[in-house]
Amino acid sequence: MKLAKIGLAAAALLGATLVPLSIATPAQAASCSGSQIDTIAVKRGSSTYGSLKLYYNSSTGNNCARLDRVVDYGTKSGMILSLYACAKGQTQSQCFQNYRGLDQDSGQFGQYAGPVSVYGKGRCILVQAGVADRNHNWANYTSPVFHCG
């Protein structure tokens, strides 16, 4: 009986030390491929609520975005991330009405929203990001139509 308890304890310890080694961290699991082309702080006043990272993969033509929570990190609160592919020369309002591609992620997240991606070869992108703190105050960002591929 004593050996069985020791064996179970050893198995529990062994399992506990092995499991974290085989699981990817959230940053590894939700990364974008390609080269990072921009980092934008999502702010409310002078306080940074989130960090928006944009990537472009020249071999696939994909643009990718990820929004990392800065405020109340680890606390699940609202986040939204939208990435649009626009025609060259479009204004913001034209892109919102007539986009060529759209990917979004939203929900109650403690660490990040995304990644989201759109095909962007020969196109521009527009990105919207929002991060709420635990008191439901939002910081929002809307880019111009930019990073034309």
pLDDT per position as a tens digit, 89-108: 999 999 999 999 999 999 99
Q: Which domains does the chain have, with CATH numbers?
A: 25-142 (2.60.40)
pLDDT per position as a tens digit, 59-85: 999 999 999 999 999 999 999 999 999
In the numeric block, which tokens belong to residue 16? Answer: 């506990």
Mean pLDDT, the chain, rounded, equals 84
> Per-residue pLDDT for 128 more than 50?
yes
> Per-residue pLDDT for 145 more than 60?
yes
Rounded CA-CA distance 101/81 in Å is 14
> Per-residue pLDDT for 2 more than 90?
no
Q: Given phi > 0 = left and psi -120 to 50 = alpha, else beta, which region is 7?
A: alpha
Q: Residue 17: its pLDDT value, please?
A: 35
Rounded CA-CA distance 103/51 in Å is 18
